[in-house]
Each structure stands twice: as structure tokens, then as C-alpha cells.
Amino acid sequence: MGSPLRVFLTSRPEPHYIHKVFTTPELQPHISIVSIQSFRTSVDRNIALLVRARHEEDEMSQAWCDADPSIISNLVTKADGLFIYARTVIDFILGDVSVLQERYTLLIQGGTAFGVAGLDELYRIVLESVFPSQEQYPQMKERLRRVLGYVATIQDPLLKRWRS
């Protein structure tokens, strides 16, 4: 009779590693390996639900997403069954809702890598947006000028009321 103890291990999809370690003759009778990729339709549906739910947390993001239904399906395709990819993408896109489309375009046009291979590319895109190149400085300067202009415009009427 087997032990009532059950252990659940998860790993990035590295089939060669999993196969080598967990299919040794002494372990094979005691181990069942199930790949989440075997349930890909369900995985993709759950990733789509995650992406949709996160976009619904912000009104601007939801409107942007509703205007183009392909956004969610494109992000699900790029995730290639990996929740970590989808989660990182959503955190990146929603990190600054004022530039949703720009960030989305960066990700979609970033390349053809998907899944695990795409994680390296995704991290590069995210880091480059955090630490922009000098070519982006004029664009950033213009964005900062607009924001400061809005702040000055908003505060001016408040200052007039306060002084009266």
C-alpha cells in the first residue's frame, strides 16, 4: 500500500530536465507527470480571464481593451501558456495607463519569441522602458512638459480661490 503523502511540484517547462530526473527506474512507479500544456485550451482561457480581469480594474484600461478585442487574444497568444508571462505583461501595461497603447505595441512588435523564450525578450522590453535610451529623451521631455503644464493649469484656479 502506498503512502498517503502526496507532493505537488511545479516547474518551468523544461522537458529534458523533468524527463531525466523524474523518469528514473526507481522513481517512475511513484511519480505521475502532468504537463499543464496538455490542458492548453483551459490554460489559455484562464490566462484570458486573468488579462480581462486586470484590465477591468481600471476604467481607462477597460475602455481601451473593449475598443479592440484582439488585444486580449494577442496577449494570450504571446503568453504561450505561461501565466508568469501574462502576469508580467499585464503589470507592465497597467504600470502606466497613460501609455497603454505604446506599451502594448512595444510588446506585440517586440519580436516573434513566445513562451519561455519570450520571457527574456519581455524582460528586456520592460527594462528598456524603465531605463530608456537617449533617443527617447526628447519624447520623454515633451511628455513631462505636458504633465507639468496640466499641473500648472489645474493649480492656478485653486491658487486664485485660496487668495480671495
CB of 21 within 8 A of CB of 28? no
Please give the distance of CA 135 from its chain centroid, rounded to a whole number.
25
Residue 163 has pLDDT above 70, yes or no: no
**Which three cell numbers, joined as nine digits, stand for 156?**
492656478
CB of 86 within 8 A of CB of 51? yes
**Which three cell numbers, joined as nine digits, stand for 6?**
502526496
Q: Taking the CA of residue 127 as centre, how many other CA atoms within 13 Å lie in the half-sphere pointing to its CB?
A: 6
Distance CA 63, CA 33 (A): 41
Instruction: Residue 124: count other Cβ atoms within 10 Å of its Cβ.
Output: 12
Output the pTM of the full model: 0.59
The chain-wide mean pLDDT, for the chain, equals: 78
CB of 97 within 8 A of CB of 58? yes
Highest mean pLDDT among 8-22, 50-64, 100-114: 50-64
Distance CA 129, CA 139 (A): 12
Instruction: Residue 68: count other Cβ atoms within 10 Å of its Cβ.
Output: 12
Residue 81 exposed, middle or buried by CB count within 10 Å (0-12, 13-18, 19+): buried
Please report the pLDDT score of residue 9 as a whole number: 58
Please report the pLDDT score of residue 75 as a whole number: 92
- Residue 63's pLDDT band, with cuts at 50, 70 and 90, is very high
What does the radius of gyration of the chain's CA atoms come to, in whole angstroms? 23
Domain locations along the chain: 40-134
How confident is the model over 100-152, as pLDDT tens digits?
899 899 888 866 655 556 777 777 777 777 666 677 778 778 887 887 777 77
